[in-house]
Every structure is written in C-alpha cells, then in structure tokens.
Structure 1
Amino acid sequence: MAADTGDSRPLQVPKRLLDAVGDDPAEPVRSWLDSLPQLAARRLGAWELTPERVVTPGGRGGLVVLVRQADGTPAALKFPVPGPGRGDEAAALAHWNGWGAARLLRASSEDGALLIERLQSAVSLRSLPEAKALLEAAGTVRRLWVPPPADSFGTVEERTGAAAEMLPTLASGAWAADVRPLADEALELRSGLTAQPPERLLLHGDFRQGKVLAGERTPWLAVGPRPVVGERAYDLARLVLDRCEDLAAGPGPAAAARRRIAKLADSLDVDRDRLRGWSLFRAVEAGLRHGAAGDRRRAELLLEFAGWL
C-alpha cells in the first residue's frame, strides 16, 4: 500500500502497522487504513512537506514519515491510528511544549496528523547498556510528570478499570489456568492502589526505553505518549517491565527484578510497594493480552516476571 506523493518515491505503509490494524473489526480503523495513502499525500501537500522516507519497521500506533518542511527544516509527520483518545497525544505534546518530549510543531483536527520535531528514530535508550538506559530514562520521565491541563485526559483508575474488567475473561482460557492466582492478586492490588491515589500528574502512559529517542537540543526526548492522569508509580511500572528478557536470561532474575524496582523507586522518590503493585498488575494484564492474541512466548515471559514480584 503506497501513497501517491507526486514524485517517484511512493510511501509504503509498513507491514508491522498493516499486521497490527489490518484485521481490526472497527469500521473507522479499516477505512482509515484504506485511505491512508491519500491522507498522507494530501497532508504532505497542504503543509508543503517533502517526504524522505517512512520509518520502518515503525510502530503499531500509526504511520510516521520523515519529512522536510518548506524551509528545509527536518520533521516527522505522524498519522495516529484512529480510536478513543486520538487527540490526546497532540494535547500532551503541546502541554509539555518540548520539556522532556518531542516538540509538537503542527496538528490537524481534520485527519489527526501531527508534525513533530525530528529525532533520531533509529537511536533509542534500548541502544544503551541497561544501567545507563535506566538512568537516562529516569531523568527523562521525571520531566514529564507535571500538573495536567484541566479535564483533558482520562485517569489511571478509568484506564485500568477497563483492563481489570477483562482480566477474568482473559484468565479463563485453558492455557491460563496456572496464572489465575496471579490474576486475582493483580485485581486485588489494583483495587487497593486506586482507592486513594497519592497524586494527580500528567503521565506518559506508555513510557519505556524504546519510546525515548536521541535528539539534538537535548540528548533524550520521549515520543508516542498515551497520556493519562495519575500517580508516578503507574508510569514507572511500564519501565520496570522493559527488557525483562534480559533479566530472565541472567542469574537470579527474581532478585534482579526486585532490585530494579527498588533502584527506580528510590531514584525518583516513588513508594516501592506501590511501584511493585502497579508493575505486577501491568505485567499480568499485558501477559494475558499477549496470550489471548496468540503470542504465548511474550505472555509467558511477562507472567513469569509478575511471579518474580
């Protein structure tokens, strides 16, 4: 699938994106995917952008094209997959205004397109040794934790509430029989964690090493938020799960996982128990989702990680 941009370099929609949303039953998503080449061509023309290349393999949340603006300045043009909260990424980037995250240059309410400061898409924190990556990640995410704009984003309670409702169903499959006690624990932990949230801050929502890219005006900047309002421990929990395959391959993975929690919690002044609780919940929820989607290898790794906690 390619976009007619008026030159000899059609824009190919990456296979990863096609695989991620190609079978989505929602009509808006199917229509968006079918019309994406035309949407891209129109937006390139309307904003006077010259395409260089599509970022591949890219992400599952949208199409990203590296472009040049009319004055030659590099940028990245993104078309997020339509769905609930489609405009939240633009709102969060605008609120941060380049503080800890890529700067939003333009946004279209018509087709959801975002023109974003160009970062080095091939260089993320995952390219660093783990200890250095976690240090830089902690320094980046703390900049994002700011008071949110009024009434503009959903809350952690709402987001995890939807996930919690699905856990019993996801854990009911025969393959998941052994992890039902973990699912029960995750639900109990989530209930306690959401009863009295200690703070209300704007969170990235999907913060991990692959979402932090090398920049020019500052060494590392976050991209691709799924913004939500809540406590820092929820945001940090996704980082705890990052590169869990490295822990699994090393000696004493359970102790290493607990040390990671302690180190991150202490470096960012986050309560260790709350970080452990959210890490376990997010590991179980993600593991069961991967298992239900047929990715047993990833599911088993995440659920094993949850067991270590």
Structure 2
Amino acid sequence: MEQLPDLAPLAAVAKTLAGEWGLELGMPFSATRYSYVVPAGADAVLKLRPAEDDESEEEADALALWDGDGAVRLLRRDDARRAILLERVRPGSDLSTLPEDEATARAVEIGPRLWRPAGASFRWIGDHVPRWLDNAESEPGRALVPLARRLSAELDVGRAVLVHGDFHHHNLLAAGSGYVAIDPKPMLGEPEFDVAPFLWNPLSSRMRLDVTERRLAAFAAAGLDEGRMRAWAVIRGAYLQTDACALAVIRALV
C-alpha cells in the first residue's frame, strides 16, 4: 500500500508562516494528499511540501518563470521551509468537468504556454528515466519495461524546454475565462513527454484506444511529434500506470 506523508508537521509550519506573513488560514483542501495545501484568505493558497517530495523540487522556480502565463501565479516563497504562496484560482473547476473534445482543446492551448526555454538550473528528464524504469520492475506496468527501455534508448531525449511533469485534467483549472496549470513537477525535457498522463486521465474515466487516438491527433495537429508522444506514453506508462485496461491501451500505441 502506498505510504502517504504525515502532514501534521507541515500544518505546524503553515501556522507559523501565517503569523509571519499575516495570513488567515482556512481548512486544508480535502483533495490534497502529498502536500499541505490550505486557503490563505480569499485570494491566496498556501502550499507546503514534505521533505521527501523531490519531484516538485523546482516548482517555485517554474512558477516564477511562467509568471502567471499558463500557470497559477506565484506570490511568495520560502525555500527553506518548502513553502509557496499562490494566487487562488477561481472558479477552480478542472478539465474533467468539460466534454471530452473541449477538455482536449483546452489542454492543447495551455501546453505551449508552459513549454518554453529554461536554464540548466532545472533537472533533465533524461537523467531520471533509467531509475524510473528500474523502479517499475516490481510494479504492475513491468511487462512494458523491456519495450519502454528500447524506446527510451532510441530517443534522443530533448532538453530544450521546461515541462510541467504532471500535465493532466485535474491539474488544469478554470481561472476566469481561461485555464491555468497547477502542481507542476518541472524538469527540462520535450513537450511530448508531458502528453502521456493526459492520455490516461481523468481519474473517473477508463482509458480507451479510440479516445486516446483522438487526443494524440489533437496534440499532433498543434505541432507535437506523434511518434514521440506514443513512445513517451509507453515509457511513462511502464512506471506510472497500474490499471490493466490502461496498460493494454498503452501497449497498443506502438
């Protein structure tokens, strides 16, 4: 069973920061499991990450780079205490509430705003893929690992742009008349890397080949390389997916 972090120490830090920054904290958001995320007044959200969360290590740096264009705006940060203050997104509903084709169209619009050049201060996905696949040897997706290793070896993994890292329906929220991304796990990579989790979300749906093909076609029409999207779906599916139906669809993509 997956071990979730103890958020009580983070709640204590949040209380201290609220006093220092003059924030009035509400009740934590019920959907958060890995970080402590709480309303801070009417227009802001305070987020604290546990020490063991290294995937979001450069979250504040990415949000600062995006500066509210395609992603939630960063208001304040305290790197030593792994805390960020964010602009609150309203109305805040995510893409899973939209019809299929509209949700995909919105994602296709948001992605290019995030995929922009960034410096070497961000980690490169190519340094981490081997470890991710090694860890997948004991996971439900292990049957995909040999194919994933071959595809990974054939890719000259890009490092030109910043990727979100967890780009899917539940991390793309309505903000006024548009949508913005939240909760990035940023690294240097290539846009095609980001499409994979969008293919097997939202959580309430079952992955289907026909729907997946339509999503891939929409991103390809926007300029992404379809072959690389398919390869990354297999590579990332090998270590991220646990659903047998989704794994079968992913295997059928190449």
TM-score, with structure 2 as normaliser: 0.89
Change (3 A) 1:19 1:186: closer
Structure 1 CA distance, aligned partners of 2:157 and 2:124? 11
State the distance in 2 between where 1:95 and 1:125 align: 23
Deviations 1:13-63 (A, max 9, x none): xxxxx96224xxxxxxxxxx44223212101101100123321122x3311
Q: Is the 8 A contact 1:75 1:115 kept in 2?
A: yes
8 Å CA contact retained: 1:244, 1:305: no
Q: Distance in 1 between matches of 2:184 and 2:37?
A: 14
Q: 1:244 to 1:36 in 2, by over 3 A?
A: closer
- Gaps of at least 5 residues in structure 2 are none
- Within 5 Å, which residues of 2 pair with 1:190-229? 190-193=152-155, 196-198=156-158, 200-216=160-176, 219-229=178-188
Does residue 154 (structure 1) correspond to residue 123 (structure 2)? The answer is: yes
Q: Please give the root-mean-square deviation of Cα atoms over the aligned residues, in Å.
A: 2.3
| 1:153-209, Cα deviation, whole Å (9 max, x unpaired) | 1111122121122233446xxxx7xx63x321111111112xx23551011011101
Equivalent residue letter for 2:244: E
CA distances 1:252-279 after superposition (whole Å, capped 9, x unpaired): x33432332222222x211111111101
Of residues 283, 286, 296, the one that matches 2:237 is 283
Q: Which amino acid in 1 is paired with 2:75?
A: L
Q: Identity over the aligned pairs, expressed in percent? A: 28
Q: Does 1:80 align with 2:49?
A: yes
Contact in 2 for aligned 1:90/1:104 (Cα 8 Å) = yes
Written as runs of structure 1 = structure 2, the 5 A alignment for 1:12-51 is 20-22=4-6, 33-51=7-25
Q: 1:301 — aligned with what?
A: 245
Compared CA separation, residues 279 and 48, structure 1 to 2 (3 A): same
Instruction: Report the CA distance between 1:245 and its aligned residue.
Output: 6.5
Matches within 5 A, 1:154-173: 154-170=123-139
Q: In the alignment, which of 136, 139, 149 is matched to residue 187 of structure 1? A: 149
Q: Is the 8 A contact 2:95 2:173 kept in 1?
A: yes
1:152/1:61 CA distance change after superposition, 3 Å: farther
Q: Structure 1 residues 126, 97: CA separation in 2 closer, same or farther (over 3 Å shift)?
A: same
For the 8 Å contact 1:245–1:301, the answer to whether it is kept is: no
Change over 3 Å in CA distance of 1:243–1:35 after alignment to 2: closer
Q: Is the 8 A contact 1:241 1:283 kept in 2?
A: no
Matched, 1:62 2:35: yes
Mark the structure with the bigger radius of gyration: 1
- The residue number in structure 2 matching 1:30 is none
Structure 1 contact 241–279 (Cα < 8 Å) conserved: no
Whole-angstrom distance in 1 between the partners of 2:102 and 2:160: 29
Q: Which runs of 4+ in 1 moved over 4 A?
A: none
SS of equivalent to 1:110? helix
Q: Which has the higher helix share?
A: 1
Gaps of 5+ in 1: 1-17, 23-32, 291-298
Report the equivalent of 1:8: none
**Residues in 2 aligned to 1:272 and 1:236: alpha-carbon distance in whole angstroms:** 10
Higher relative contact order (CA 8 A, sep 6+): 2
- Letter of the 1:224 counterpart: D
- Shift in CA distance, 87/19, structure 1 to aligned 2, threshold 3 Å: closer
Deviation readout 1:68-118 (Å, 9 max, x if unpaired): 2xxxx6100111122335541111101111110011000012311110010
Residue of structure 2 in register with 1:262 after alignment: 217
In the alignment of these two chains, the number of paired residues is 251
Worse-matched range after superposition: 80-89 or 233-242: 80-89
